[in-house]
Every structure is written in structure tokens, then in C-alpha cells.
Structure 1
Amino acid sequence: MKSLVTAQHGQVLLANGNVTIEIANGKQNIAPGEQLPKGSTLYIEDGAEVEIAFEDGTTYSNLSSAAQDSEAAMADSDFSALDEIQALQDLIASGEDPTAGLPDTAAGAGTAGNQGGTNFVSLTRSGDETIASSGFATEGSAQSEFSAASNLNESVVDNPSELINDVTTIDEDGVATGNVLGNDSDVDNVLTVTSFEVDGNTYTAGTEVTLEGGTLVINEDGSYTFTPNENWNGSVPVITYTTNTGSTATLTIVVNAVDDPSIVVNDNNTIDEGSVATGNVLDNDSDIDSDLTVASFEVNGTSYTAGTTVELEGGSLVINEDGSYTFTPNDNWNGSVPVITYTTSTGSTATLTLEVTPVDDPSVLANDSNTIDEDSVATGNVLDNDSDIDSDLTVASFEVNGESYTAGTTVELEGGTLVLNEDGSYTFTPNDNWNGSVPVITYTTSTGSSATLTLEVTPVDDPSVLANDSNTVAENSVATGNVLDNDSDIDSDLTVASFEVNGESYTAGTTVELEGGSLVINEDGSYTFTPNDNWNGSVPVITYTTNTGSTATLTLEVTPVDDPSVLANDSNTIDEDSVATGNVLDNDSDIDNDLTVASFEVNGTSYTAGTEVTLEGGSLVINEDGSYVFTPNDNWNGTVPVITYTTNTGSTATLTLEVTPLDDPSVLANDSNTVAENSVATGNVLDNDSDIDNDLTVASFEVNGESYTAGTTVELEGGSLVINEDGSYTFTPNDNWNGTVPVITYTTNTGSTATLTLEVTPVDDPSVLANDSNTIDEDSVATGNVLDNDSDIDSDLTVASFEVNGESYTAGSTVELEGGSLVINEDGSYVFTPNDNWNGTVPVITYTTSTGSNATLTIEVTPVDEAPEFRSGTDVAGDAANTDTYDFGELAEAATAGTVVGTV
């Protein structure tokens, strides 16, 4: 027995004898046409014949009596074990399951096969993968002789290498190593790497290549090393390697990024008192993978987001996201700021130490000034607006008029006495009625700084003595006087500079228009207020100001005087059937009162305002507010009696109302009339019309766009129409006409118009039927149409049914009678076909139309005297082969000389 392990996919072309294939549960015979997977194990009994075609075009055949096998696919049974070892190694090298598709192992008890008892155990990986090396030494092994004899139909095939692309991933700053041949195999050769290509350049195996991201070498034995540059990460350009068999595959190397720790350095800054500490904590920090920012900072045990301004005991601090910081010390503060710990965006931390060193600040002095009125004492303290952050200030000395004095010394000056004490307080007491500028005083403090004190005494004018003024006048009187008559000023001659009224200020002498009148106050104090006609009331208080700046008021009052009401008589003219409205007070006035109507009088009778009075011509009401309404009776016109009204002030006036006549329009109503077909429509279009001023007649009428004088008879499509002057009308429809008459518009003698609508409704007219009769000769067919002499003005007639011999039949039915067959169709056509030689009277047929009307059809068949028939024994026409039949009439016409033999 021989065995064969296929190195590629194939198909069985021939299988004679016992040729089996190894399967999972044993073996089974193969047959032509079956597909053989790569790695299949075949067992070939002695004398069996097999031929296989492989996918690369090669074949295996053992048809030769020499039993030589294809070098590419089979080894002698003596080397079957070697074949199995090679197949196992190929499967291991390619990463496939070596237990699939090969003979069972010897482990365990199982069914006996060509290798004895076999069984197998499946192993499951439980740890890291170790790539096995494959191959075995063949030195000293016996070799079968192979010959390439063409008559054996065998060929030697070099199987292609099987290469698998490689991928390796490492972390940044790691070294990628491996062997590209570890997962490659070649059944015929020991694989090596001859060259590799990267970035478009080809290198001999073993060459070290410098790439952008690091250095690479792939050795002849397939081992490779890629050493990335420091902190480099990314994808190495794909490397394509070529083996000694000419096959190629790729190596892909990816370097994963690793976040390198940030390098942060503690910061410190020392500044002088009164200075601002600035800097950037990130200037001395670095991170190769990230752009560092400050995420937060902590001080005094409290954490703050970057960018937050924190108020500390010694000042304010902010550290921004970009690392910049600012510490602004409080004025004159010095000392150590609590240590600040900042945290970067990468989570690293460092500290910032700030120190503020003390500085001796100079005294800050401000010059002083004080202005007082004449006969007042100037006091104050020159140190109140001075300061020294480091010392308690005092006054050591002062100088005035070129002389220096120790603090606390009282100095007599031209305008008064001055003392400036050590604590800075000072007093200047002016001489009586003295005013002017005190010589500038320069004081020196205990710190040696100096500033000045300036004192000013302003003169004081004694105030004017003013008294408020008032004046009351009667309505329509002028108020005059002088506001200065009761005023005085010991120092000045008083005049009026300005005056103010209603919040507006005016120069003396200006005339001001007020709500109640006009006002002027002159410079000499004289004033005039001229009230408006009939105005009374209080003038807004006037405040005047003198040339000394003093002020006083002027109050003016105008008392009322009762003025008489002014009333005007009223009149109103309206048209008939209109309502007269208005207000009798609209043209009346009373300067002192709001006028109302108290009462009114008409026809000698007095009525309270608001009372509705019925007069001969209509109804009247005059309301308290003066409004009035007169509603005339329908169609009344004329003069209403004069009405006299009295106001609440006792004054009276009159109201005259006139109603002018109007020609009232005619009141016309449209007419309509509906009659049945063949009836006459009559009526009178004026029966429902009226005119209060005129006797109505019809002047004309219009129909179909044509106008006709009343009394004209008009022929219309549907009949004849006449409308007479008195309004009577007649419409006579044409025979059997129905429908709507065109709308008729009539015009009266007053020019008003209305319409007459006439409708003729249809009436179903009875059908007009005539009885039918038909006489035919015996053996003729009677035809005709029973409807030809029938009519119906409203319908298209058809035959619905017919009756004969007391039986009714639907139109179109064929009826067999004693004398023949009869049919009357729906369209009225009929056919009566008599029986041969029948004659007589057909029973009367009654037909009924689609309108329900009926008539009769009478058919008579008259007898015909027929010639006897002669049947000859010989052909009269010379046709001796047939017998002919003739009647004697025909025979006489066609007779020729000779003898006719036959029977009658």
C-alpha cells in the first residue's frame, strides 16, 4: 500500500481499485469527480490506479506498470511516514490545526488502520503562543528512485511558497523584533529572505535602513529588528520582503504612543513691597507628548481652577491656564505668600513660592486750604490728608512770611492770629471785619516732609430784608403794586433782578402770559397783572429775586363775578320721514356755569327736560344735556310749533323745526307665477306694489334684452306675453311647451322696476297609438312596424310586450301560433311567418308600449290557388339521371315538343 498527501486542491479523474481517503471517523473510497482538499491523505492499495488533476494544472497518475508516482504529490509507501511529518510541519508553520486532515495518532485505543490502532486528543491553548520551528533532517534516509517518463503521465512540480503577511505592534520607546518567516512555508525549499523594500527602496537582507521613525534591519534568516527613535510613535511604512523563492509578503510595524511624564520644576519669585510679581510657571516645565497647561492650583489648602483670582491675606493671586501668573500685593504689604501648588493638564504638580521684601515708604503729604467767611474762625488739621505707612506723623515746625516757628507757637499776623500744633491741628482767628488771603504757611513733619496751608477769608455782605406781598382784585380788574415797597437792604439800593412763576424764570421787565392773564414785574419792583376776560382764581405764586440775591413772593387772587348766560336761538330743517337731532346748548355759553336745560315749552305747555312729548306731527324730547330728538310721523311734513327752552341759569331761547315734503319711492315686489304645461299664466304685477304719493301703472317691460311699451304682445320662444298698463299680464305657452320664461323686468310710471318670473311645468302627454293591420298572400311573410303610426310628444316609444290568444309575451319573444310564428320586437318591428299553405286570420295581437298605452295588430293571410305539381320520371331538361318536380304553370312556360312522363 502507498499513501499520498496532497499539497494543493485537486479533483479525482480516475480511481480503479481500492483507493481511500482519510476522514474524521475513518476512511472512505474516492470516486472520479470528487474534490480533494489540500492536505488530504490518500491510501492506494497495490494494483489500484488513480489519477488526480491539481489546481495549478499538474496531474498525478500511477497508471504505469512501474508504479512511479508524481514527485510533486506522492512518496513511496516506504516514505509515507516522512510525508505525514512534512504535512504536519507545514500545518504548524502556517498556523493551522495539525490534527485536521491527517491520519489518526497512535495515542489511545481506536479502530485499527494502516498504522495500527489510532485515536486522537484535541488540545486547547491556554497560554501565550510559541511559534514552532519546522523541518527535519533527511540525511541517511533511503530514497526512492523517480524517473520522469512521459509515458507514465507524471511531472515534477515545484510547489509555491506560502507566505503570510506579518504585523507587529509595540509601545513607544520599545524595540520591535520577530521573524517574518515564522509563519511562512515552502514544501520544496528552506525559505530565506533575499531582500526587502521600504519607502520605494529595495535593500539586501541584513542591511540596516534608517527611516524617519527609526532604524530597521531584516536578516536573511527572516529575523528583523526595528528600533524607533526616542519618543517616536506612528506607523512604519509597510515593508515588503522577498524570499529566495521569489515570493513576497509584507511586514507592518505600528508603534503605539506612550504618554511620557511631564517634567515640571518648582518656581519662586521675590519682589519688593509695592511691586507686582509676574511670571510663567510653565517656562521651565516640559512634556514631550503634550502642550502643557495649568489645570488648577492650590493655596492654603483650597484648590482653584486655572484663571481664578484668589484673594489672599497679602494680596490677590491668579494663575492662568497658559501658566502666566500675577500676584498683586496689598498696599505696603510684605512677607511670604503661602506656597502655591499648581497641577498641569497632564496631572503633574510643582510649586510656586512668592516673597515680598519690605521697603521704607516716603510720607505722603497733601497741601491744605481753607476758606471762611469774614468774622468766622478757620480750624482744621493739616495731617488729616497726610500719611506715612511706616511712621506716625507729627508737625515739627511751620514757616510763614519767611519766619520759622516751632509747632504749637501762636503767631500774630496782619489779618489775625495763627497757631499750628504738633498734632497738626490749627486755628486762625481773623481780626473783626477783616477779609483777604493769609500768607501761605509751610509746615514740616517729623519725617522731614513738608506741605502748605492756604487760608482765605471772604468778605460778607449783610442780607437784604424782604417781605412777601399779596394782592386781591375782582374779576375783570387789574392788579398793580410794588414788591419792593416793604423790602430793605442796609448795604444796597434794592432792585428786582428776575422773577419766577410756574417753574420758569424771567428777567425783570418781561411780560409773561399765564393761564389767567398777563404779568410783568419791572426792575423798580412795580408789577401789573391783567386777568383774562371773566377769569377768576389764584395766580400761581410769583417769586422775585433782588439784585442782592434775596427772594420773596407775590401772591395774587382774582375773585369771581357772576356773568349772564349767552343763548342763541336754534333751528333745524329735515326731510320728510327723517329724524331731527341736535343740541340746543351747542351755540350757548355761560362763563361761570356749565349750562343744562331745565325745561322746555311747546304749544303753551311746559315740560321738564327729558320728557317725551307727542305733537300733531310727531314726538319730541329735549334732554338736560341739551340734546333733542324730533321723530316725525310717517310721511308727515310741515312746521313744528316753536319750542322755548329754559337753562339752569334761567335764560331762555327757542328751537324751530321744519319738515319738508318728499316724494316717497314706489315699493315694488318681484312677482312669480308657475303654471302647468298647456295652461295660461295670468296675474297682475301691481297687486303687491304700492306708492304713497302716486297711482302706479306699468309704463314698459323688458324681456330678452328688448324693451316693450305696456300693452304690447311679445312672441317668445315658449309662447306669447303681454303686460298691460294696469299691470295685468297674460302668458300663453305654445302647445306642449314647458320651461322657464326669460325673466321680465317691468317699469312703473314712477320709474321703479321689479321682475316677473314665469315657470311652465311639464305635463306627461298620453301616447297616440293607431291600430295596425296587414294582409298577405298565403305562403308570404307579413312584416311591418306597429310604431310607425304611433307617437308620444314626451317619450321615445318602444314595445314593452304583446298579447295574443290571452297570453302576454315580452317584446322580442317568438310565439308559435296555429297558423305560423310571430315576433314583435322592442323597436316595433314584427314578422309573422305563416305555416306552408296556411291562410286565414291570425288572432288579434295587442301590443303595449313603454308608456303603458296599447293598440292592436291584425294580420290576414289570404288563400292562393296553387297549380298542381308534376313529378316526372325523366328530366324534362334532358337530365335523365334525376327526377324533377314542376307545377303546371312552370311546365307550360318551359314546354317543348315531346312527351313528359310522370305522376300528378
Structure 2
Amino acid sequence: MRTQVIDKTVVVSSIEGNVQILLADGSSRPLQKGEILQPGARLNIADDAKLLLAPYDDSPTATTPDSSAPDVPVPGLQQVPDDGTATSPEIAALQQSILQGIDPTQNFEASAAGGAPAAGGGGGIGGVAGASGNGGFVTIDRTGDATIAAAGFDTTYQTEPVVDTEQLAEPLLTNELSDEGEQLTVSEGGVLNGNVLTNTVNTDGPEAASVPIFSWGDNINVTAGTSVTIDGVGSLIVNSDGSFTFTPAPNYDGAVPPVTYVVTDGVDTVTSTLTLTIDPINDLSDGDEAFSIAEDTSVLGNVLSNSVNPDGPQGASVVSYSWGDVLGIAAGTITTQEGIGTLIINSDGSFSFTPSPDFSGAVPPISYLVTDGEDTVTSVLTINVTPLGDIDFNAQALNVVSTETDAGLQVLLTNTVTISD
């Protein structure tokens, strides 16, 4: 919807679409074809409406005399033959009197019967043929406007051809300011830059199109160039030249409130909408795990305890695992490697490893596949078995030397003592 202010008197030639005229009490009504608009009238014109206005001329229309109409004889008047060029002496005398600035009413007598002046008659230049002795003058007061010929005015004239001066009224063009809405998408965690005026049409505005204000969510009529934020959604700034920047909040991929903005060209204004969509990115991740246990000791744990899955369609789960040279083991399957131990990893991430007796050292690498129903990631479980302080049971003979002292028998060991099983 745009507003048009009328600056001169015009008439409505045609209307297509919704056009309202604003009334003095603040209400509006539909504009009608043929309606005359005075300067200062305000119109609300829909963006898709078309309005044709033409200049209004209230001056009276000139009429052209019908020169082809025949002369009608008047009873009682002397008729002069019409040969197209001849002028009677009486008329010539009358014209000459007018050219000399003489009032014809002072030098000619009018016949009561309407006769024409006769040359040489009484009353100045000529008498009146058939004049009545009881004739006189009647004065008629002027009640209307007329143009009186001045002295020296030539009462003869050349008939000018009638020229058709009717011209088609040039349409009064309405302001063509318009702006289409925008629909843009940004990836989750990304930043979107653009310009809302790239599709603006402003062919006749006195100024370049610009954005004075915008609204977003609860932020109403924000001055262009001001940055606003919606908690959990992101931040937005729209500048007067139409450029804008939208930064989504971290890990947010939900709905974004629409952005409405006003465009003006210095005369009219239009309102458009910027629609923003965040394209979600699956954030599934899972860290590696490492455990160290003592010899002959089992370990229990969960490989999904450090997985991250904020927006997956399903909860994270283990699909399969591989252990050493054994690949693609289905989750929930017990696997044993001779001399190393027994391992099981379940789909919920829980696992158990029991080393073989007296095994110590690094367990062959264990990798497992995690999914959220859409994406998959691979992680590694590392287990190391530390040995115990075992006694060396290799037997050796003891050399015993006995000595007799006052304190009793003493045994002197000359070799390292070992214990044998």
C-alpha cells in the first residue's frame, strides 16, 4: 500500500484494484471513476492497483458558429441579394460611420417596420425607407456581458477554418515505488548478508529508495542502522541503504520471526517483508575414550557418555564396532580374542572388557560407529592393562654357613633368596 497526495485538480479516468480516498475524519472510502480530486486530497493505493488521472478543465467550451446556416429573411426588412461579395450602400454607409467613430444611432433613423436605412434620407447620412412619422427610439438596458466594438474595429472578417483542438488528456502518472519481499536461507552457525532494496522499483521518486525503519519480533519501528537481538534466535541490523546482516544464535535452527521494513523515495512509502530461514546442520559428535586397568581386572563404561547430539532425529546409539582384525561386529555381540580378553559394546553405548589371566599391555584398538538416525561418526576406545608386581619364583639353592657364638646359632646367607613354587 502506498500513499499519493494530489497537487492539482484532476479527474479520475480509470481505476483497477483497491484505491481509497482519505476523508477529513480519518476514515476512507473507495475512489470512484469520474470523481474530481482537488489539491491536497490523499489516496491510499494498493501495490497492485492501477490509477489513471487526467487534468481537469472547468472552463466553458467554445462553440463554433455554423457558417453554413442559410440567412432567414426577416419580414419588413429590405432584402439585399446575396452574391457572396456585394455589400448594399446602406450597409457600407453604416460601416463607414462606425469606422469614423460616429455613433450610428445619432445619424440613422430606425424604421418602425424594421426597414433599412436609405441614403439621402433625413436624419444625417440617410433617411429610413418607409419610415413612420410616429417612429421613435426604445432604449433597452443591458443585463448581460458582451464585447463592444471599439472605434476603428473592422466589422468584416475572414472566416477561419475550425481547428479541432481536442487532445487526449495525458495521464497523470502515479508514483511507481514498489519493493518485493525477500526469502533467504542461512546455514546454522553461519552469517547472512544481503540487501533488501535489490528488487526495489523507483523510476520517478524524487529521492533514491531507502529504509527508514524496520521491525523484528518485539522490536518495533527500529531506526535503520540499529542492531537488535532476540535471545536464543540471533541478532539483526538493517541499514538505510538496504544492506543487512543476520547472525543466528549458536546451535539455533528454529523459526525466525519475519522482518518488516519500510521503503521510501521521499514522497511515497511501501512496506515489505524479509523472511529468514536457518538451514540446520547436524551437530552429532562423539569423543574418544581411554581406560587403564590393572592386570586381571575388568572394566565397565559407556562410550556415548561424551557424545553430542542436540538436533538429531533420534538419540545417539552404537551401530557396530571393530576390534583388532575383527571388523563390523554388531552392537550387543560378545567378542573374545585368545590371550587378550573378552569385549562387548551394546547399542546404548555400555561396554565391558575382561582381560585374559596374566594379560597386560595395550589392548588392540577398538573403533565403534555412532548414529543419530541421520548422520554417523566414528570414535575409538583405548584400553591398557598394567601388570601387577609379580614375584619371581625361579628357585636357587641357599648356601648356609653356621657359626657358634655366645648368643646362639646364626645363619649367614651368601646368595639372593628366591622363592619357588
The normalised TM-score by structure 1 is 0.23
The normalised TM-score by structure 2 is 0.48
Q: Which of 1 and 2 has higher RCO (CA within 8 Å, sep 6+)?
A: 2
Query: Which of 1 and 2 has greater Rg?
Result: 1
